[in-house]
Amino acid sequence: MSGGLLVAGTTSDAGKSVVTAGICRWLVRQGVKVAPFKAQNMSLNSFVTRDGAEIGRAQAMQAQACRVEPTALMNPVLLKPGGERSSQVVLLGRPVGEMSARGYHGGRQERLLGTVLDSLAELRATHDAVICEGAGSPAEINLRRTDIVNMGIARGAGLPVLVVGDIDRGGVFASFFGTVALLAPEDQALVAGYLVNKFRGDVSLLEPGLDMLHGLTGRRTYGVLPFRHGLGIDEEDGLRVSLRGTVRESAVAPPVGEDVLRVAVCAVPLMSNFTDVDALAAEPGVVVRFVDRPEELADADLVIVPGTRGTVRALQWLRERGLADAIARRAAERRPVLGICGGFQLLGEHIEDEVESRAGHVDGLGLLPVRVRFAREKTLTRPVGTALGERVEGYEIHHGVARVAGGDPFLDGCRVGQTWGTHWHGSLESDGFRRAFLREVAAAAGRRFVPACDTSFAALREEQLDRLGDLIEHHADTDALWRLIESGAPRGLPFVPPGAPA
Residues with catalytic roles = 341, 425
Cα distance between residue 259 and residue 451, in whole Å:
10
Size (the chain), residues: 502
Q: Are strands 86-91 and 46-48 parallel, antiparallel or unpaired?
A: unpaired
Cα distance between residue 328 and residue 416, in whole Å:
12
CB 5 within 8 A of CB 26: no
| 22-25: long-range contacts, CB 8 A cutoff, minimum separation 24 | 22/65, 22/468, 22/469, 22/471, 22/472, 23/131, 23/472, 23/481, 24/62, 24/65, 24/66, 24/131, 24/469, 25/65, 25/66, 25/465, 25/466, 25/468, 25/469, 25/472
Q: Which amino acid is at 339?
A: G
Cα distance between residue 147 and residue 136, in whole Å:
11
Rounded to 5 degrees, φ, ψ at 239 are: -70, -35
Other C-beta atoms closer than 10 Å to the C-beta of 418 total: 19
Q: Residues 458, 461, 464, CA angle at the centre, nearest 5°?
A: 155
HEC per residue, 468-500: HHHHHHHHECHHHHHHHHHHCCCCCCCCCCCCC
